[in-house]
Structures are given as C-alpha cells and as structure tokens.
Structure 1
C-alpha cells in the first residue's frame, strides 16, 4: 500500500499542497482529480521524491518510503521525459536497464510493448518523429517497463484516441490484478469514474473529497426527475419541493427528504399518468464542481 500523510509543500508565501492525506491500496486504481494548479503534479513529485515535502511523509507498506522503494515505482511525469533525438526502442531498453533489467530482457520487453500498442514498425524512429499520441504510448511503456511495484502517472491518457485509451486501461488493469497500486491524474472525469476504484479530489492544494464514486455521489443533493402525461406545473406548489427545471410534463426537482419525494409520487399517481419517477445520478463533473465550490 502507498500512503500519503499530511504532505505539504510551501513556496515562499504560496502553499501549493496543504496537508494532503490519502492511500492507494494494493491492486486498486485511484483517480487524482482537480483543476489546473490544484497541486496534483506537486503531490506526485513529492511521492516520487523529486520534490522534498515541507511537511508530511510518504509510506510504503506502512513504513517511510525509501529511495530503494521509489526506484521500483513506475513514474510518468506531466511533461514527457523521453529524449526526442533518440530512437524509441533503444531509449526504452536503456530505461529498462536503469531499472535493473538485463539488456536482452529490457529490449525484448520494450519491443513486445511497442508492438502491442501499434508501434512495431517504428522501433528505430526518433521520439520527435512520433505523433503526440504515439509519444504518449512510449512514455507509458517507459513507466511500466521495469515491473513496477507501484505506478504514479500524471495525465497518462492525455492525447490518446479512444482505442489507445482502452489499450492503456487494459494495461493498467493487468498491473492492478497483480496487486500493483496505481495513482493517476486526469481531467477526463468520465474516464476516472469508469476506471477507478477510488477518487481523490484536490482543490487549491487541499483534499476536498475522497472515496468511491458512489460514496461521492451519496453526498450529493437528493434529486429526481418526474415525467407525467399531463402538465407538471402543479409540482411548483408542493411543500418541501424545490423545482430545478420544468418543461411540459417533465420536471427536475429537489425534495427535502425521501419522505417528501414519496408523497409527491403518491400525489402524481393520484392525478394519473406517471411516465417516470427516478433519481438523478450526478456525473463526476457535477460532483467535482459542487465540492470545489464548497
């Protein structure tokens, strides 16, 4: 398990990361979300030891993470870290050797992954000659090449087409199925919602929400959509109901409680012609906007 405990980073008068605490359990994928400048990249750099924290610590299996532990972590930085003038296969093989792999194992593993992700005909191509999406593929391959014990990935899906996103998602699932904890940041909230076992929301350097997507949704306001065969304007006069939007026979509403919602349904049935009465499931984007604005 990877643990982050009270991580803080101060730059003169600016506190970029403020007492950030969360865990990435073994075999779980945790999404790290927040707006630009929220502190995600700074936190990841402190996890990797690239930046020293002003306060707090990173733990691995319940003890302070060491330099030796971190050499086994796979890391993908926000800015691509591959050398643009070097051939992609040679470069990946070199990075594999830095992780302790033999020349043959590093080269063989790198070639296998490049071929798997459609770059088998680009093995000798210089990185700068690859498209941005293919550079992203190569960067992710670099992160997973050395049989990592943990993965820390900063915007790994940026610039990838839908097919490549699914390929990379499958690759990450292979690692979590082997017990590897995975932390990745992304602005693609629908993707985070679909892939992740848990979510950490950062805003202005602070954790403002964390948990599974269903736990985060559990804190959202209770809202329903009611669709009737007739006009729904009468709902505006029901005590305990806030009407969010009404159009013809369909109304989006926020009841004070579940009891109030059920009373509304009973009245709608008594009036006849109920087509639909269902809870509105907020998107992760809506949840993020609400917790960030709180």
Structure 2
C-alpha cells in the first residue's frame, strides 16, 4: 500500500451465542488517514472496532494496533468514543474533559488547560464552568468527544460519532476530524450515514451481515459503477442516433446512458458530424451511496436509511 499502517486486521471472526457477528474481516488503515466503516445497524461495525481496540478478542484472526499485537498496550495513545455515551452530570465541562484525559494518563492540570482551549476554540467557551446536566444532548456529546482527544492520541476511534448531533454540531465534528488528521492523528469511525464518509474518508470498509463487502479507497468503490451521461440535442431524429450506446434511454428530453468504454470523444464526433446539435451534455460520476447499493445491496442501503430516520426522530 506504500504507507505504514496504524491498524491491520486479517480474518477476524467473532461469534456470540452461536451467531456469527463478524465473519472474516480484513482491514488496513494507513497512518494519518481518515478511515470509515460503513454498514447498517447490526452489521458488525461496533464488534469490529472493539476487537481492533482489544476490548474483546476475536475467536480467530490477527490484528495489530499502532504496532502492538496486544492492542490494550497502546491504550494511552488511543482515544475511543463509544456509541454508548456517558458523562458525570454534575461535573463541569472542563473537569469532565480533564477527567477523561486523566484516565489515559494525562495530568489533571494539563487536562484542564487543554479542555479550556478545546471549548473556547469550538464555540463552547461560555460553558467551561457549566455542569454537564445543563447542556443539550449534542453539546454533551461534543464535550465527550473533547475528552476523547484531550490527551492528543495518535489514533482516534469513533463509534457512530455523528448520531444524535444537529447540523451545526455535525459540522463542528467534521472540522475537528479534519484538524486532528492534519495534525498527524489517524482517525477511524463507524457510521450509517454515507455522506459523512464521502466527505471525510480516504479509505472505507463496507460491512453488511458481518461480512466485508469492500475495503479500499473511496475512489475504487465509486469506480465500480460507470459514470452517467445526460445528453440533449436540438435534432429529434437522424442518422446520428445510431452512434448512441445500446443502453441509451430518452427521459424528460435527455438521452441517459453509461459512459462508453472508449470514452466520450468518439461519440461527440459522431453526434457533431451527424448534425445532432448538442444543447446540453453532462457527465455525472457515481456517488458513494450508489456504490454502496451496488456493493452491499439495496436491502442494506434501506436499513441504513431507516436507521438514520429513526435516530433523527428520536
């Protein structure tokens, strides 16, 4: 891959009560990258993350984390935000962040100073001395995220970090993830919201039904589908039509078809020479959502959409 790996896992398996939760997962996370694990609820994302961190051990398989074959030995240089959130409600935001850092070996006085900086820099300076119980759910979740990174870990692991956040706090989180990566940290997060992964990630793993369906660069996932061409011509008919690909269909006044294997240039020449009169032409590359549907199947995509709608309603 041409890069050192922060995380490498091969052939991870895990069974609970006779049911296979993770069925042969291979993952490679380059140092300094932003890596996403995509899949619907129950796909095996959280179990995979916990095995990578050493919270639980795989039944079979091999994994290293920051060079450690026993992941828990790297605990002090890892930040982990679990899907189940929890802070002491009577603590102030500053002390809550400092306390979480202390659990990873950061002196409390250093933690308090860094907490103030994080809160100030991210628009929460007015809440430094406020108790956690006075915060909104989204603010409290953001504070817990600060506690995850206050000790300046080399690896940041976030399990469904965007769940329950409004648009403003989601934007703050995306900014923070990019900032931490720019400072040299490796970030791996699980999500059921494809848009976040498309905006942030360089590499992804797609998991459905406990199985790995894809692992690699986002661009490679999207390249599994052809780009889509939309064409509108002044001429409604003519000899030029024989140059259109066999899959071309007329919809709302546009010819729609997959990008020809030989590219668009030969088709353009045939249309011009044939007097088609090109009025509009657009080429749309498939998005990650389309790639996910093609790779994991429409049922997995529907489960992710329903999960997202349910969490927003909650």
Please say whether Structure 1 and Structure 2 have the same fold, judged by a TM-score greater than 0.5: yes
The 1-side partners of 2:239 and 2:164 are apart by: 48
> Could you say if the C-alpha distance between residues 244 and 189 of structure 1 is closer, same or farther in structure 2, counting changes exceeding 3 Å?
farther
Matched positions, count: 292
Q: CA deviation at 1:142?
A: 1.2
- Matched residues in 2 for 1:52 and 1:186: separation? 22
Assess, with a 3 A threshold, how the Cα gap between structure 1 residues 71 and 261 changes in structure 2: closer, same or farther.
same
Contact 1:229 1:274 (C-alpha < 8 Å) held by counterparts? yes
Alignment check: 8 A CA contact 1:229 1:275 kept: yes
Q: Secondary structure at the match of 1:104?
A: helix
* Aligned pair partner of 2:279 in 261, 275, 281: 275
Tell me, yes or no, if the aligned pair for 1:236 and 1:242 is still in contact at 8 Å: no
Look up the match of 1:228: 233
Structure 1 partner of 2:184: 179
* Aligned residue in 1 for 2:307: none
235 and 99 in structure 1: CA distance in 2 versus 1, 3 angstrom threshold:
farther
* Superposed displacement of residue 79, structure 1: 1.5
How far off is 1:239 after superposition? Answer: 7.5
Q: CA deviation at 1:151?
A: 0.6
Q: How much has 1:290 moved relative to structure 2? A: 1.0
Q: Does 1:92 align with 2:97?
A: yes
Match of 1:39 among 17, 36, 44: 44
Assess if the C-alpha contact under 8 Å between 2:78 and 2:154 holds in 1: yes
What's the CA shift for 1:175?
Answer: 2.3
CA contact (8 A) 1:7 1:19 kept: yes
Deviates more, 1:104-113 or 1:62-71: 62-71
Deviations 1:111-144 (A, max 9, x none): 2212222222223333232111101211210110
For 2:211 and 2:237, how far apart are their aligned partners in 1?
Answer: 42
Query: Tell me, what secondary structure is at the counterpart of 1:271?
Result: coil
Task: Output aligned runs, 1:145-164, within 5 Å.
Answer: 145-164=150-169
The answer to whether the 8 Å contact 2:226/2:285 transfers is: no
Superposition RMSD in Å: 2.6
- Say yes or no: does 1:212 pair with 2:217: yes
| Residue 259 (1) aligns with residue 265 (2) | no
Residue by residue over 1:49-108, the C-alpha shift from the partner in whole angstroms, topping out at 9 and shown as x without a partner, is: 222211123203444134221232100111213233433322222221121111210111
Partner of 2:133: 128
The offset of 1:226, in angstroms, is 1.5
Alpha-carbon separation, structure 1, partners of 2:295 and 2:138: 32
Shift of 1:268: 2.7
Q: Aligned with 2:281: secondary structure?
A: strand
Deviation at 1:236, TM superposition (A): 8.3
Q: Structure 1: give runs of 5+ residues left out of the alignment.
A: none
- CA distance in 2: counterparts of 1:29 and 1:195, whole angstroms: 7
Conserved? CA contact 2:13–2:59, under 8 Å: yes
Match of 1:7 in 2: 12
TM-score where L is the length of structure 1: 0.88
Task: Tell me the alpha carbon deviations over residues 218-266 of structure 1, each in whole angstroms, 9 at most, x when there is no partner.
Answer: 1113532222124379998767521355122x121136x4238655444
**Unaligned stretches of 5+ in structure 2?**
1-5, 299-314
Change beyond 3 A, Cα 1:222–1:91: closer
Match of 1:189 in 2: 194
Q: Secondary structure at the match of 1:59?
A: strand
1:104 aligned residue (101, 109, 132):
109
